[in-house]
Structure 1
């Protein structure tokens, strides 16, 4: 494989990314080759390795940048989060990696997704149960208020308390979920930055 074949293969592997992202990557690697010179082309190709592997890392980095973008509104963040997950999945399954490694990575990701999903589903179920119970207690209390004032007032208070607890728990769930996403994104950013620094260090040597 020569320089032209490497660039062509890399560009093909990144064809699903935005055009400006692809162009930035291609410009970077072309500049790397230019600085190394034609006499060092083979050494640079050995250093880079498989362009498909590089494309997979770039797709994952692109996903991390989307997840860690804090300047967008909540609706845009939701769309970016889904898009980022898609890029990660696409990067995994379009790369010519060993099948056992791909299966293991996929199963691990699926297990994590199911675990987090189960926790969130249980939390939502509990929130729904508290909220519905609060509404029922409030309605019952109001309906018997003029028949049995004490019991009616107690039921209304209980209903309002349950609704209040639901609101507090909902805020807590949203806060914890947001922090977990930010923590995961920051860790992935650290890893991406470390690899970028290593690449820049090799380039400067």
Structure 2
């Protein structure tokens, strides 16, 4: 997912270092095309391949599109994710389907993308996968119990994949905390978002989020 937020920032950072970038989004082609346009405007190369990573067929098509466009895959950033905002204490606020929906993207989707890209990543000679997880998967916090559980599963899967794909492919996860942006603000609500942001800005060493 690179139509906005962390995904867009990662795409631009890779492009700034000379990488050709495949921009993916499940729904918003306009946002994906905007990211690709920003890459090209900065002198980089980018193509857009739409697809829902909850679909294995789409994952294989995305991987094939990357190889068709650029002839190789050196890095895979599994950034696409979803959540269901629900207070952790509200156990009745979550249904089994909420867990299944989150796992389909946050865990299964990351697995399917890794599997689809693994042959090309091995051929690269320096292939690497980065799973964008969350502090929620470590501390049991975040937007909901279901989200925290899905990110905990992603962290465990990262360890498993690192073991079986190494040394040809490195597999790591990053676990960000609060990230400034529209997605979190809309999910938390403006008042709660602003209060949490102000609190973190006072307590973090760099005084920013």
Shorter-chain TM-score category? Answer: under 0.3
Q: Which has the larger radius of gyration?
A: 1
Judging by fraction of residues, say which structure has more helix: 1
With the length of structure 1 as denominator, give the TM-score of the two structures.
Answer: 0.22
With the length of structure 2 as denominator, give the TM-score of the two structures.
Answer: 0.22
Judging by fraction of residues, say which structure has more strand: 2
